[in-house]
Structure 1
Amino acid sequence: MPPVSGLLAGQVALVTGAGGGIGRGIALRFAEEGAAVAVHCRTSVDAARDVAGRIRATGARAVVLRADLADEDACRNLVHEAARWGGGRLTALVNNAGVQPQQELAGMTAAAWRAVVDTNLSSVFACTQAAVEVMRGSGGGTVTHIASVEATHPAPLHAHYCASKTAVVMHARSAALEYGPDGIRVNTVSPGLVDREGLAEDWPEGVERWRRAAPAGRLGRPEDIGDACVFLASPLASWITGHDLVVDGGVSARPTW
């Protein structure tokens, strides 16, 4: 664990999809740095409660909030519920929730396409718009979208996912442009392959290929992504907005020819 420095002391943050994996790592790192954290989940309630319990065990504040982010009204209600819990304040939003199904383009239905886009992209739009309404009235804040290295490096069977993540990067740039005068910074973090329980057993050849390709020699950890999000939400990044921070152990630096 990195040294705790209180970079986010006094902040109120909402992390979507925080029940496990990357979202858990982000929520825990925000709490370790002093933020009160609203832990969002859709169905993984037990996992979200575990994250909130771990946060409270450190002396920080946490609450679990449920919402289906494929529904625009649910996105807005989630943000405003988090702000009410935070005493009328929301200083940081991390749009982490997303899905990554595998399907060939041939035969993909428009409904299957929309299911990914609505969760990965439309929820980002709706949650951000609602968060800005709150942040404008309390001196500004930060919004960080979790994108992916697949926003620029497509993978087979992920066309809908890759397209949604590319759009997430451009949404952040557009939002940074329009919301900057309100004191709101908007950025993206693009993770590479982040480890999870059972990944090496489920996809051994992919894990080995990634390790060989990564100059850092390993897969990512959820807290690696959490560290990047903490930085972007902190005063250390006060002049950074509209930026895509790639966190992939250097894989993107390798030549592709």
Structure 2
Amino acid sequence: MSGLLEGQVALVTGAGGGIGRGIAARFAEEGAGVVLHCRTAVEAAGEMASRIRESGGRAVVLRADLTDEDACRRVVREAVDWGGGRLTALVNNAGVQLTGELPGMALAEWQAVVDTNLSSVFACTQAAVEVMREQGGGGSVTHIASIEASRPEPLHAHYAAAKAAVVMHARAAALEYGPFGIRVNSVSPGLVHREGLEEAWPEGVRRWQAAAPAGRLGRPEDVGDACVFLASGLASWVTGHELVVDGGVSARPGW
């Protein structure tokens, strides 16, 4: 690897899931010390942390429910302590994708998705930026959104609305945090492979592959590559940007 993130300390939320593990792996490969946050997938996050350490990298796992603002601040504080008083990058990846019909959706169902996918982004970003401002030297924050932020699917109204808000939060935060040398961007993936997806949704996978100019599903590492770029010096003049990583599906006409 090229060492694009050598010397950085990064916190990746939701790092027990497939995309989160892919992001953490790529950050470590590029030289960053990585804090892998998880809520329930402790074993999966721990396995990735072990792989990173076995490859000569630095990694630790922290567990928290990020729907709790105090837990968000605690995770950031513990990440900073582990990083020797530094935190240079945050990737807000934690999220849930639940389904439900909008006409009969209870407020509690809506709130469960919004709290996990949006409010945690606000709280973790605010806590991380406080640290980045105090330590000087700036930093980067990357939100994992979705192409559903602009192309909603049926039964995903709460998810799509939350992801659209995540994209806008990144733009608004870029404006307000830019004077402190902190860049904020979002990455919007398309359909990313996970174990068992082809068996669980064969028709959807076939339709995606047919629609994607790249001809395949995404890989967690594809999302990780985008995040590495945005956290690196190569993106020093990139902020408030939504980077779509979907194999070209968004280029297809919708009519």
TM-score interval, smaller chain: over 0.9
| Structure 1: runs of 5+ lacking an equivalent | none
Secondary structure of the 2:213 match is: coil
- How far the C-alpha of 1:137 sits from its partner, in A, is 1.7
**Distance in 1 between the 2:199 and 2:174 partners?**
40
The separation in 1 between residues aligned to 2:17 and 2:155, in whole angstroms, is: 24
The match for 1:161 among 159, 162, 171 is: 159
**Cα shift at 1:20:** 2.4
One-letter amino acid of the counterpart of residue 111, structure 1: A
What RMSD over aligned residues (CA atoms) do the two structures have, in Å?
0.5
Residues 2-29 of structure 1 show CA distances to partners (whole Å, capped at 9, x for unaligned) of xx10000000000000012100000000
After TM superposition, list the pairs within 5 Å mapping 1:156-235 onto structure 2: 156-235=154-233
Q: Does 1:61 align with 2:58?
A: yes
The percent of aligned pairs where both chains have the same amino acid is 79
Q: Which residue of 2 aligns with 1:76?
A: 73
1:123-148 residue CA offsets vs partner (Å, 9 max, x unmatched)? 00000000000001221100000000
Provide the rounded CA distance (Å) in 1 between the counterparts of 2:201 and 2:132. 42
Q: Any gaps of 5 or more consecutive residues in structure 2?
A: none
So what's the TM-score if we normalise by structure 2?
Answer: 0.99
Which among 4, 8, 12 is matched to residue 5 of structure 2? 8
Q: Which runs of 4+ in 1 moved over 4 A?
A: none
1:88 to 85, 90, 93: 85
Q: How many matched pairs?
A: 254
Distance 2:13 2:207 in 1: 30
Q: Which of 11, 19, 26 is the equivalent residue of 1:29?
A: 26
Following the alignment from structure 1 to structure 2, what is the Cα–Cα distance between the partners of residues 210 and 46?
31
Distance 2:89 2:98 in 1: 28
Aligned partner letter, 2:29: E
Indicate the residue corresponding to 2:140 in structure 1.
142
Query: Offset at 1:106?
Result: 1.5
Structure 1-normalised TM-score?
0.98
Structure 2 letter corresponding to 1:162: A
Q: CA deviation at 1:191?
A: 0.1
1:105 matched residue in structure 2: 102
Aligned to 1:151: 149
Give the match's secondary structure for 2:244. strand
CA distance in structure 1 between the aligned counterparts of 2:2 and 2:59, rounded to whole angstroms:
19
Whole-Å separation in 1 of the counterparts to 2:44 and 2:199: 22
